[in-house]
Amino acid sequence: MISDTAVISHSEQPTSTVDVATRTIESPVGRLLLRARADALTGLFFQASRAVTDLPSRTAVQFDVLDSAEAQLDEYFRGRRRSFDLPLAPEGTDFQQSVWSLLQEIPFGRTLSYGKLASALGDPNKSRAVGLANGSNPIGIIIPCHRVVGADGSLTGFGGGITVKRWLLLHEGADLRDVDGEGNQFALPF
C-alpha cells in the first residue's frame, strides 16, 4: 500500500532536533498522508487536506509506527479490523484532547452527535466548540471523527469530504437510513 515515504527536521535549538517522518498510502478513500515521530503517530490527513500540501510525501527516515499504521489501515479497509492499536500523539489544546479522547470511545459502525459529545464533556452548550475540535482532529479515521453527526443525524462537515464520511460509515455498517433518528447513535456510558 506504500506509494511514497519521506524525515523532516525541525530545529528548536542548534543541538536539538525532532524528527518527523511521513508516508503517503493509497486507500479506497484516496491518498492518505501519515505523519509520525519515532514513538507515535501524529497525523493522518486526506489528500484534499491543506496539511497534505504543507508536508512532503516522502521522507528519508521511516519509523515502525508508520508500518503498523499502514498495516492496520489496510486491515480496516479490508474489513478485518474494527479498532486501532497504535501509539497516538495528536497535538492540540486540552479541550481538543478531551474531545479526541471521547471520539475513540464511539464504537465501530455507530454515531454520536456533537451535542451528546458536549454533554459528555459537561456542557451541552459547547456543541460548536466540540465541532471545531472534531474538525481539528489531526488523526482522521484512527481517531474516528467521521462517526460524529449533526443533532438530527445528518452527515455534517468532514475533512475528507461528506462523500468519504458516508463511505467510511457505510464501510463500518452504520445504518444511514436512520440518519434522522437516534436508532444508530451510540450513548456514552456516563
- Output the DSSP codes for 11-23: EEETTEEEEEEEE
- Could you give the residue ranges of the DSSP H alpha helices within the chain? 50-54, 64-77, 94-103, 114-120, 127-135, 162-171
Provide the residue type at 83 as one letter. S
Is position 119 annotated as part of the catalytic site? no
- Cell numbers standing for residue 144: 474516528
Q: 29, 32, 121, 145: which is the annotated catalytic residue?
A: 145
Angstrom distances, CA of residue 115 to CA of 137, 147, 150, 157, 164: 17, 13, 8, 15, 22
The residues annotated with a catalytic role in the active site are 145
